Amino acid sequence: MPLDLAVAVAEAETTAGWFGGGTLQSEQVFAVTSAQIGTDTKYTGYFDQLFPHRSLDAIEGSFREKLAPWRKIRPDTIESYRPYQWFETTQLSSELSLEDTEMGDNKICLCVIERYDEGPKVRAFLIESRADSSRLLPMEVIMVPRNPDPYVRIPAELIGALLDKRVTIIGAGSGGGEVALDLACAGVGQIVLFDDDRLHSENYIRHILTKREVGRMKIAGVKDAIRERCLPTKVTGHELNIVLWADKFRESLSENRPELVICATDSRDSRRLANVCCVVFGIPLVIAGILDAGRIGEILLVRPGESACYECIRMGLGATLETPESGERSLTPYAGGEEADLQFAVQRFDVGFVSSIATRVALQVLDPSSYGRLPADYLIWGREKSAEYSDPFRFEHPLSLNYVPLSKRDDCPVCGLPNTDLEGLDIDEEFAEIIADLGKLPA
């Protein structure tokens, strides 16, 4: 029930009319969009709040000009009629300005509006009649305000600290879409999405989007998922692959510097590019993904200049090792098959666990006063108890979370120590010496 229609009915001189709108009979849901007041029909100004409602769906619902009758009654009139108790039909119909013939031996839905100083009170009942008796069966009424507050149940201080934060998310798939929605629900004010992919039929089993979104760009669907929750988050989308359009990605980071970048892709190349860019620009980066066909989740926080970067992790945990010989066991899920594992997860909850942990890791960067720093910047989640790999990929219990303290590597090509071999050398002098030595060689 849109609040503006309830107010219009309460302030009208007439005392009876009809509400119109959509109905989903299978679930006994009505979405009111208009009110007949006398000879006029008033339409709600809040239709944007009701548009996505299933009862207004052209396939699953239907529109009615006379969805349910309404009656305006004196305050507290209905209080004398206790729900579910039987009363004389003539008495009840008189109080509610209904014709006995309307009630008959059937059920009708009725909305009653009472006007109070603080605003109208709207209640709905299914009136059941038999013989000369009738009773009121209460129906739930949900009032829809013009600007609903989605954060009404979240402490204001948590929301206020995030409203001016900007986050760039690479990948709007099952993981990135979930993280984007989680951060918007947490109160993040601006989100920039990078993804060039469309939603396919095999995607929505793990995605926040549904089959209704098949064929749409994922970033467009994620934007709508945030908008339909009435969240104030401003979402900007770039339908680009950051590897193919690296200059555009670097330009975005430079011109609209975010407080945090999150890489939630199934591409090793995009992770490495995001890592290099964030280290160079000094922007914190969270990398989240799946390993070992969904059984292991990996979440890394890169604090440029302070903690290990993605290349440090790969070097330290064997990503650059050759695939083991046939019959030998790899010590880490990185060595061999990494790209395939990144693109595969067994169940939606695998992705959900990793996305939730990644969101928590992100929040400690965005609002450290409310979300305390975790014991380590590298987290490994295990779905099952497993001793298949070496540490830190061993798990003593299902759903274990290993906090892995790792330091920057001096030999890391991205964030390691600079090469000092040429420091203090006079390049011109060295060049002249090399040419002189070449002149001494025999012809």
3-state secondary structure of 229: coil
Looking at the structure, do residues 39 and 11 belong to the same domain, yes or no? Answer: yes
CB within 8 Å of 439: residues ≥ 6 apart? none
CA distance 184 to 151: 11
Inside any domain, residue 432: no
Final residue in a domain of this structure, among 139, 171, 203 = 139
Is 62 inside any structural domain? yes
Q: Are residues 130 and 173 in the same domain?
A: no
Provide the token pair at 62. Answer: 């239907």
Q: Are 176 and 274 in contact (CB under 8 A)?
A: no
- First-to-last alpha carbon distance for the chain, in angstroms, is 97
- Round to whole Å and give the CA distance between 164 and 401: 31
* Structural domains of the chain, count: 2
Of 380, 382, 351, the closest CA to residue 173 belongs to: 351
- In whole angstroms, how far apart are CA 242 and each of 118, 223, 239? 54, 19, 9
Residue 426 lies in a domain: no
Residues 375 and 278 in one domain: yes
In a domain, 339, yes or no: yes
Same structural domain, 293 and 371: yes
Provide DSSP, 118-174: TEEEEEEEEEEEETTEEEEEEE----B-SS--TTTTS-HHHHHTTTT-EEEEE--SH
Which of the residues in the chain have pLDDT under 50?
A: 320-324, 326-327, 337, 342, 422
Please give the model's pTM, rounded to 2 decimal places: 0.83
Does 25 lie in the same domain as 165?
Answer: no
Regarding whether 180 and 82 lie in a shared domain, the answer is: no
Sheet containing 166-170, strands listed edge to edge, beginning at the edge strand earlier in sequence: 234-238, 190-194, 166-170, 260-263, 285-291, 296-302, 378-382, 400-404
Assigned token pair, 178: 């979930």
Question: Are 134 and 161 in a shared domain?
Answer: no
Q: What is the CATH number of the domain that holds 368?
A: 3.40.50.720
Establish if 416 belongs to a structural domain: no
Report the alpha-carbon distance of residue 15 to residue 34 in Å, rounded. 16
User: Residue 405: is the preceding peptide bond cis (ω within 30°)?
Assistant: no
pLDDT of residue 423: 60
Domain membership of residue 419 (yes or no) is no
Encoded tokens for 226 = 């945030």
Q: Within this chain, do residues 348 and 261 fall inside the same structural domain, yes or no? A: yes
pLDDT of 71 reads: 94
Q: What is the pLDDT of residue 321?
A: 44
Q: Kindly report, residue by residue over 98-120, the tens digit of the pLDDT.
A: 876 666 667 889 999 999 989 99
H-type alpha helices, 228-267: 246-255
Work out the number of other CB atoms within 10 angstroms of the CB of residue 209: 22
Q: Last residue of some domain: 139, 164, 181? A: 139
pLDDT value of residue 323: 46
Q: How far apart are CA 360 and CA 368, in angstroms?
A: 11
CA distances from 322 to 99, 335, 341, 390 (A): 85, 7, 16, 17
Residue 318 lies in a domain: yes
Does 150 fall in a domain?
A: no
- Say yes or no: 178 and 134 in one domain: no
- Crossing angle for the helix pair 218-227 and 174-186, to the nearest 10 degrees: 30
Q: How many CB atoms lie within 10 A of CB 87?
A: 17
Is residue 90 located within the same domain as residue 182?
no
Q: Going along 187-241, which residue ranges are E strands?
A: 190-194, 234-238
Tokens 């914190």 — which residue?
Answer: 284
Taking each helix axis from N to C end, the angle separating 348-366 and 174-186, rounded to the nearest 10 degrees, works out to 40
Residue 223 and residue 372 in one domain: yes
* Residue 115 half-sphere exposure toward CB, CA atoms < 13 A: 14
133 and 172 both lie in a single domain: no
Contact between residue 27 and residue 108 where contact means Cβ atoms under 8 Å apart: no
Residue where a domain stops, chosen among 80, 114, 139: 139
Structural domain range at position 246: 156-404
